[in-house]
Chain A
Amino acid sequence: MKQRKQKRRFTGADAEIELSMTPMIDVVFQLLIYFLVTFSTADVLAHLDISRPSPEAAQTKPKPPADMIRVAVMPEGYAINGRKVTEEELASMLKRLASVSTKQAVLVTCDDQSVHGKLIQALDMCASCGLSQISVMSGK
């Protein structure tokens, strides 16, 4: 009788037959925390398409046509059609020129010493005005 009682306790206990959830929940929480920590929202990327005159063509055609919008990016600022302007002035002038036609060609000349971010800023202004015919040339 005594032996039977022991056996019954061993086999009949519910807790020993049911799946123990605790370790699984532990692991799932660990995974959850891992993903939360390593999760980084991916940036939405944009592309700025440009066309670039080939090096040979640039040499044979030193002077760009006058009807182009000429934007120069220099380390100290911007210039449009040969006149030095600030960032805001460039944006407003591009907007004015773009209101005439967005099919106009824009020639962006970038100085070697200027940072890439400034060129992107200039290209971004062109994109916001809807100007899409952009060539990038590199000046000295």
Chain B
Amino acid sequence: MKNRFQNQSNGGINMTPMIDVVFQMIIFFVCTAQLEQEQFSEFIKLPGSPNAPEMAQEKDPRTITIEVDGKGKVSIARTPLSISKLRKILNKTVADYGVHGPSIPILIRADGDVRHGNVKQVMDACTGAGLYKIAFVAVKDSLK
């Protein structure tokens, strides 16, 4: 009787700790995978551009992404900025990078419905800081 009981408990592997660990890992990966997206506002409706070249998977780590939402509000990484503040930040970043400063790529994620005047201010702030590598972000292919 006792023998039979021991056989059963030793024979089968206890799955519970393994499942616990696997779930922890799943949650960890899900959380870290979404961090990248969290940097950008989801309220920006990017304009469509089916013919433009696709964004490279590996972009320059120095890239600064500036967002302009539908109301013309400017932000970097969800932090709202005034134009004068943006100008200061860009000037400081360019100064910090020294010789490599002016080649920092700028990505502008502007809402399709925003007036060009608001985007222009951002571009002027960039060129004012000496940055010339400016690109607009658009949706090439929407799967929705």
Contact = CB atoms under 8 A, between A and B. Distances in A.
Given A46-B140, A120-B47, A112 B117 contact: yes
Given A52-B132, A116-B119, A41 B144 contact: yes
A105 interface: no
A66 B26 CA distance: 60
B104 interface: no
B140 A116 contact: no
Interface size grouping (class) on chain B: 35 or more
Contact of B4 (A12, A35, A47, A113): A12
Chain B facing A: main interface SS: mixed
A115 interface: yes
Nearest to A114: B116
Interface of B: 1, 4-5, 8-9, 12, 14-16, 19, 23, 26, 30, 37, 46-55, 68, 107, 110-120, 123-124, 126-128, 132-144
Nearest to B130: A54
A11 B6 CA distance: 10
A44 interface: yes
Contacts of B118: 116
A105 to B, nearest CB: 15
A124 B114 contact: no
Chain A facing B: main interface SS: mixed
A39 B15 CA distance: 29
Interface centre among B47, B128, B132, B137 (most CB of A within 10 A): B47
Interface size grouping (class) on chain A: 35 or more
B120 A120 contact: no
Given A46-B52, A52-B126, A127-B49, A116 B1 contact: no
Contacts of A123: 49, 52, 136
B108 to A, nearest CB: 9
A138 B128 CA distance: 14
Given A115-B112, A117-B113, A41 B143 contact: yes
Nearest to B26: A31
Contacts of B140: 43-46
B110 A8 contact: no
A11 to B, nearest CB: 5
Given A44-B141, A115-B116, A116-B119, A52 B127 contact: yes
A121 interface: yes
